Amino acid sequence: KVQHSISRCSSSGDHVRLWTAERVLSVTLLAAIPAAFFMPTIPVETFLALTLTVHGHWGIEALVHDYVRPSVFGDIIPKLSVAIVYGISVVTFGSLCYFIFTDVGIVNAVS
């Protein structure tokens, strides 16, 4: 009987640490969202914006890594896609901070 095993080689990073960081961030969001509604101050809303942005970034980055593979798209498009995800995340966080500092903020807008 011949066994074939497929092993995924990581090009970078420790997946256990990333998984742990994702779980910690998810638990942090469980506290950050109610905290922002009970105490809608600039620092609390900025922390909420940061945690929401990082949470979304990691999710979208995982999708890009899963579906925009070098074996299908070559070497350039996957790297470009990840760079675009980083750009979108930076613009998202910057926009949320701008909204918090110059307008009513996230919590008051949602309320």
CATH number for the domain spanning 70: value is 1.20.1300.10
- 74: which residues sit within 8 A by CB, 6+ positions away? none
Provide the number of structural domains found in the chain: 1
Please indicate, yes or no, if residue 104 is contained in any of the structural domains.
Answer: yes
Please indicate, yes or no, if residue 37 is contained in any of the structural domains.
Answer: yes
8 A C-beta contact, residue 70 and residue 106: no
Please indicate, yes or no, if residue 7 is contained in any of the structural domains.
Answer: no
Please indicate, yes or no, if residue 3 is contained in any of the structural domains.
Answer: no
Among 4-8, 10-14, 39-43, 97-101, the range scoring the smallest mean pLDDT is 4-8
| Whole-model pTM over 0.85 | no
| Per-residue pLDDT reduced to its tens digit, 82-108 | 999 999 999 999 999 999 999 999 999
Please indicate, yes or no, if residue 68 is contained in any of the structural domains.
Answer: yes
Is 55 annotated as belonging to a binding site?
yes
Phi-psi domain of 73 (left: phi exceeds 0; alpha: psi -120 through 50; beta: other): alpha
Please indicate, yes or no, if residue 90 is contained in any of the structural domains.
Answer: yes
Is 98 annotated as belonging to a binding site?
no
Domain housing 45: 13-110
Please indicate, yes or no, if residue 8 is contained in any of the structural domains.
Answer: no
